[in-house]
Structure 1
Amino acid sequence: MALRNIPIVVDLNRAVRSNQEIWGRVGDNGLMALNVSVIDTSDSTKKVVDLTGLTIYFTLVYPDGTYFRDSLNVTNRIDKLGTFDYTLTANCFAQAGAFDCHFRIEKGTTIKLRSGTRDFTLTIEADGLQNNIAMPDFASDIDQLNADIQAAIAESQAQLNDALADLAKASANVDTAIVKADAVVASIIANQVVKITDAANWQKAKLTNDAGVAKAPPDVTSLAEITEQGSFYINSTAAAKLTDAPLTGGFRLENNRLISGVGIEQHARYFSTTNASALRHFFRYVGASVTAWREYETTTGSQAKADAAQANAIQFVNTKFTDSGWLPLPLKTGFTAGSSTPQYRKIGTLVMYRGLVIRTSGGTGVFATAPAGYRTSDPYLEGFVVGQQSSAAGASGLVYVKPSGDVELVAATNATGIWLSGISYYTD
């Protein structure tokens, strides 16, 4: 802690002439501190200088041309208020005399921006007990640089020692690797490993790219132009240029060269889940001529077709074989049911009748009307010969069925009842 604290105001306005005088004696050291406030009155107003991000140096030049420049003893900075303390060291008290001093403010590293305060006087009185003290040039930033260099050298030496240790370990590993490499070479020589230069055994066609995935396709407009062996990913952009792809959208192309080496078997596999045509597989032959694409059947496609066939079969059965069962046949006036109830029935499109109709007056005429859906589609009359409830030989009646649904007894051998069995027709 300094014994003397001297407040001092320094102005960046160099037109100011009335700066403070500081005094000491030869041999003083470390007991005098300047409590510095930095202001700027260049525009006729007193402004506090914000020292944030700036480096502050104390500078003194001796009559013999040597100098003292120091930033290490700047302490207690309050940058926003423009204040700091500077403790004067032995270098400042080396010679008797009046010395001009100032503070220099710098900013930047490679390119520095500088500004200095107006000089103030440091007066050093002689000491009868000792002479002037010889002082060489001193710059605290140079001393700091030397200290940094020494620290860097020490750190580099430590890193070098670590690197030498790693090198020794790596050297041991290299020796082990050499032994393994010798074993591999021996295996190659013994033909246990195929050499790249071995034309007889080495696979010459790359089936994938170096990462093991499908290769990018060449820029072509026809898949028939791709005769290289291997697997290619045809993205949507490349697919849009093609004129002979089986479907639109991206897919994987697989080229398998045939034994003869002349033709190519091409497979186009659509697999993207975003493609409406996903999970479909096409193939064709590309040689002197190009065959049409053919598609492999999948379990999904087979099931869809089976489901459609089943639906059609159910619809067919429902249409052709639906059975209404026997329904009672309403009779008109003049006709009544016999011992066998008159009924009608439709199976699919076939309408049938059965039962005994009694003629209460023994006459002829329309005795029943079939409802809609049970009528003949024949535009002409349907005529049926039916038996009579009679023991007389050849007793029979003639029944017409009309498109309107009317069922009419046109004639009969005698006045007995008529049997409806044998009357049948189709509605379609």
Structure 2
Amino acid sequence: MKVLMKQPQIYHFQLTILSKRGVIMNIKKYNLALDFMKNKSQNKIVGRVGEIQSMLWHINLSTDETTQPLGDLIPVFYAEIKEGIFVRDDGSENNSINILDNSNGIIEYKPNKRLFAKPGRLKNCYFALEKTAPSNEVTLGPLDQLVERTSTQSFEIIVEKDAMQDNVELESFDPTINELKRYLEDHLGDSVAISTQALQNAEAAHERMDNLENQIDDNNLITTTLSAVWQKYKLTNDDGIAKIFPTNVTKLSDFNETGYFYVDSTAASKLTDVPLAQGFLLENRKLITGNTVEQTIRYFNPDDGEECREFSRYGTSTWRETASVLGSQIYTDNSYKKTVIWSGSSYFLDTHIFSWDSVKVRNGVLLEFSRYAPGTGVLDYGYIEYFFSKEYLVRNNNKATWLNMPGSTEAAKKTIRLTPTSVSGDATNGQAPSTSYALRAVTIF
């Protein structure tokens, strides 16, 4: 075990105690379940000042309640003794850490007696998984060599006072305060009596402080029965604000923690499966079972509400945009924009058929014609357009429609047939005088 100070100064301790039969004493056995993602642990260790090799901790490591393999990482124990001083024990000097099952993250730990040197509460205690780089024959401290490190939730160690600490052994096991006072006055005089009274006052004050601290701590703990129907996970932070999104996530479908999260533009730029590469508010919701989440993304503009957009999906399915002013406008523009089906020049015979998707026709079809000189080609004048509404396409489905061509003294015309999904010409369009005009473009709206 290593005791580290802020400077830092490092101390090494090694201790092995055998009973009369030569067996290491580990009478108190604790089972600890420690998670790398949860914020608070209900685990609590209780010991007493002066205990030596009395404990054995059996630890199960997990990440979000899922077994955490150790791999090539080394388990290390940390505890903050008081402000400015902490201990670090990787088990390399006294074999205090034993890996029972690497694949399932199960280890055993024999705590050092230095943890039980002083009464009080050690609240910042945890295990970490670490990986160090080779020293390359350069003398470095253990913390300077770290290249990978992650830590579990904290748990608490309560060190109770030993009866022998700062007390005098009496022949009678049941002395009163007055008997103890007379004993001290008879043996050590008035000065010790005064000191004794001061110690008694200090002990009483210390006890009151301990009671107060216990009451405060106990108010933060709820029994399992009372909390059975409580919400265990926070949907927001303590102030009701969206939680911070992790910066190491590259696929949003891999992130299944429930709640509300703010994803800034930097984190959003790393995600490969989001609709837009800009900051957004994320809402994750889980069903009754499983880890698959329903996700909702909200892109917002504080200056223009019409630019706010919302997308939803379940698991890894395709994002679906919900109704919004901007989204509806974009959808409408994309769905019903002007589309040129064909352009060129054609007599428009019965073999000439031009088709389209009826869903994309909002208003109707526009046909454009111009003058044509047989043997020469199209002429750049005499243009005319005929528009046919969507209702006309349905009402006169595949019926012959005559289109008179302007500026013609020979009564030139074109015969066409319209359906909701196509338009075709006629064989008579290739006969004079109809050959003096040609179809130039087919456009849907």
Please say whether Structure 1 and Structure 2 have the same fold, judged by a TM-score greater than 0.5: no
Higher relative contact order (CA 8 A, sep 6+): 2
Larger radius of gyration: 1
